[in-house]
Amino acid sequence: MSLHWSLWIMFLVVLNLGITLFLFLWGTRVHIPTRDDGTTGHVWAHGTLREGVRKLPGWWYWMSASTFVIGIGYLVLYPGFGAYDGILDWSSRAQLEQAQARNEERLGPVMEQARTQAPSELASDADAVRIGGRLFQDNCAACHGLDARGRTAIGAPDLLDDHWVHGGDEDTILDSIREGRGGVMPAWGFLGYGRVKNLAHYVRSLSGQSHDTAAAAVGREHFSTCAGCHGPDGTGNPAMGAPDLTDEAWMYGGELEQIIASIRDGRQGEMPPWKDRLDEARIRLITAWILSNGPSY
């Protein structure tokens, strides 16, 4: 901390303590004019309520006075008065570093294990799975949810079902976390609302959902515009990140209006790469947690 900021903080501390101490001492000694009945003359409710003046109880006085002693004692023991470190030489940064060192020591055996074992092996280790779950909550839950069941509002897929856009084997999951994934579906709104709606009905028919049969039949004639990515039968293309349209899993929702919105406006989803934030051991632990909780393990 620079001398300028140290002096500024010291000034603020002294100013605040000085003002509060003055008000405390002045408030206990100031004379408030009262009438013979001990009231100030202020009345409410047409005279029913009158403002009285009473001396503060001794316990309140001494309890309040003790807060000044505690506050000054804190500034002596701990940092807070400018650049002064306190006689205990404590700091939040040092405490954090000590806690991190203890945590790394406790995690050491599991992290060493994670560097050499495959996620499928780690998925059988309770400690590895527990740590992987914590890492998932810290890094992945913001998009995929704490339960990893995904969020259709942002196109984050469910990670615990059997439906995978890019593949669900451990090597592919590892690669997805390391390198991230990106998916772009172009907007087809130029086809017109009628054709888009017919396509949506046909897409719903592929997964056995309720649909307008006549509209789906017409939409099937226009599905060739989608087959380049999703395949002629709609089963998707993992290499391109084009999802399977014949199952019950939907990244952005499978209701008719949601499908219409996807076709009309297109979709752009991106999962960022985590290789620069997480080391290989942590990526494997997260993958192990996903595998251990998924139905295929």
Residues 188 and 267 in one domain: yes
Let me know if residue 160 belongs to a domain.
yes
Q: Is residue 277 part of a domain?
A: no
CATH of the domain at 267: 1.10.760.10
Q: How does residue 296 score in pLDDT terms, banded at 50, 70 and 90? A: low
Angle subtended at Cα 45 by Cα 42 and Cα 51, rounded to the nearest 5 degrees: 30
Q: What is the pLDDT of residues 52-102, one digit of tens each?
A: 888 888 999 999 999 999 999 999 999 999 989 999 999 999 999 999 999
Range(s) of the domain holding residue 238 = 182-271
To 5 degrees, how large is the angle CA 87–CA 90–CA 92?
A: 155
Q: Is the residue at 7 inside a domain?
A: yes
Looking at the DSSP bridge assignments, the partners of residue 44 are 49
Compute the CA torsion angle 108, 111, 116, 118 (nearest 10 deg).
150
Tokens of 295: 């139905």
Is the model's pLDDT at 259 over the cut of 70? yes
Q: Judge residue 31's burial from the number of C-beta atoms within 10 Å of its C-beta, 0-12 exposed, 13-18 middle, 19 or more buried.
A: exposed
Total domains present in the chain: 3
DSSP string covering 127-196: HHHHHHHHHHHHHTHHHH-TTS--BTTTTBPPSSSS--SS--SHHHHHHHHHH-EEEEE---GGG-HHHH
Task: Tell me how crowded residue 26 is: count the other CB atoms within 10 A of its CB.
Answer: 9
Q: Count of CB atoms within 10 A of residue 163's CB?
A: 15
What are 143-173's pLDDT values in tens digits? 999 999 999 999 999 999 989 999 899 999 9
260 located within any domain:
yes
Least confidently predicted of 37-46, 110-119, 239-248: 37-46
Q: Is 138 helix (H, G, I), strand (E, B) or coil?
A: helix
Do 50 and 190 belong to one domain? no
Nearest-angstrom CA–CA distance, 264 and 190: 8
Distance CA(156)–CA(148), nearest Å, equals 9
Q: Comparing 3-12, 31-40, 229-238, which segment has the lowest mean pLDDT?
A: 31-40
- Name the one residue in this structure whose structure tokens are 């008719």: 256
Cβ contact 285:128 at 8 Å: yes
Structure tokens at 272: 């960022």
Judged by DSSP in three states, 41 sits in: strand
Backbone angles phi, psi at 181, to 5 degrees: -140, 150
CA neighbours closer than 13 Å in the CB half-sphere of residue 131: 23
Same domain, 260 and 216: yes
| Prediction pTM value | 0.70
Same domain for 162 and 192, yes or no, is no
